[in-house]
Amino acid sequence: MRCIEPFASTATASWSARVRVPGSKSLSNRHLVLAALAHGESELRGVLHCADCDALVTALTQMGAKFETHGDVMRVKGVAGSPRATARIDLGDGGTPTRFMLAVAALAHDETVIDGSARMRQRPIDEGVDMLGSLGANARFCGDARALPVAMRGPLEGGAITVGVTASSQFISALMLVAPCTKHGIVITLDEVATSESYLHLSLAALAAAGVNAEVAYRPTLLSARTCGSGLARVSIAAQPMHGARIDIEPDASSAVYPAALALLLRGRIEIDGLALRSAQPDSWFFDDIALRGALVQQITRDDGSIATVVQWREELHALDAHYQRAPDSAVMAMVLAATASRASTFTGLSTLRVKESDRIESVAAGLRALGGVVETGSDWVRVHPLPATLTPACIDTANDHRIAMAFAILGCARAGVTLMNPEVVSKSWPEFFEVLDLLAREISRQIAAT
């Protein structure tokens, strides 16, 4: 357990700090797969080192890729589109690595068993397995349920597939990443607005950065509170050689939401180094949301040419209803943050949160209720009412979920009464999270004491 101590009172003092969050987990996972499948050597700068990404590197190494890390640079020697089978790969709690590795294993001619943790065996993977099977892969579920472990082998021939609403966009992203290595390429037709479509655009951006040509078609989409996205209708990726590339991986927008929320809860100003405000990362939308809630959000360019996203407290947070389908990972922090506003806020578009590392709808609700809050929930929505002025001290069950741990830790930096169970789960995406918080606490306290 870890008791979170509030920072020094900032009711009348102002402060400013800088932080650099780790590299994007979503981009790191995508570029690790692309580099491992490429011809020749790739150079990846800024890869996130965390439980998920490290498990993916281990799995790709088992299938023949070679990785060397020198400081901030990772060099990857790829398998030229032909990974070798291995007996068994265990991805632990990693949802993205597991779904991506199912597709990579489908390129090998011999069988590989893909497995994961007890929680990962409960999370949906059968749709992805069925998609791979329709494109030529051979798969069998090793247990009674249509879940992990799965024995997968190729060859993945490719072809055309029509996809409806899925439990996770990662199934489609996995097809996109391996499509250049198939015999016929892959044409994906989306007959409905895709689940978390913003992540498909992130996959397209990663493919483009790696030199892969993809043809994209859109449908007209009427945007509303229930429909978000650009109307992606078809993605065509021909069979083509992938060559090694030099890639700079930008800071993680999903991690950046935590110091941003800290600035608002502690009435200060924080500069998030290297993060572009208009990033392709889906969770960059969080910054648009907090701007509507009253924060000052802007991108600055320093004299040396470096950039930063700046978040500054300006006024008390406004209550605001929001549709978070496009940015599901940041929804946890957004809901916890909204509990400090003066009125209730409703969050919709949260269906995928129920099948993450935990059921994040229930995990957030349970944590806020334990602290004395009132939360209403539905299948894909949450209504968060204001927390009481004095929290009921509680030990928050992080449910082995890094997003839950980090969001409630940020709340605890501003409001007394928060203790975390299993805080080390932050290693899944940001192993140094608490070290960074400690550094910020010292710097903020120093500035406040000097005023």
Per-residue pLDDT reduced to its tens digit, 262-274: 999 999 999 999 9
Q: What is the mean pLDDT of residues 292-310?
A: 96
Per-residue pLDDT reduced to its tens digit, 227-259: 444 589 999 999 999 999 999 999 999 999 999
Q: Which residues contact 439 (CB under 8 A, 6 or more apart)?
A: none
User: Can you give the pLDDT at residue 217?
Assistant: 95
Q: Which residue has the tokens 């008390």?
A: 316
Amino acid at 400: N
Domains of the chain: 2-23+251-450 (3.65.10.10), 25-147+158-239 (3.65.10.10)
Instruction: Report the candidate in 336, 217, 310 with the shortest Cα–Cα distance to residue 256.
Output: 310
- C-alpha distances in angstroms, 406 versus 86, 123, 399, 419? 35, 22, 12, 12
Tokens of 394: 């509680």
Q: How confident is the model at residue 225 (pLDDT cuts 50, 70, 90)?
A: very low
User: Can you give the pLDDT at residue 278?
Assistant: 87
Q: Chain centroid to CA 403: how far?
A: 9
User: Can you give the pLDDT at residue 195?
Assistant: 83
Q: How confident is the model at residue 451 (pLDDT cuts 50, 70, 90)?
A: confident
Among residues 93, 252, 329, 401, the one annotated as catalytic is 329
| Distance from C-alpha of 267 to C-alpha of 317, rounded to nearest angstrom | 10
Secondary-structure breakdown of the chain: helix, strand, coil percentages, each rounded to the nearest 5: 35, 20, 45
Q: Is 93 labeled as catalytic in the residue annotation?
A: no
| Distance from C-alpha of 409 to C-alpha of 423, rounded to nearest angstrom | 9
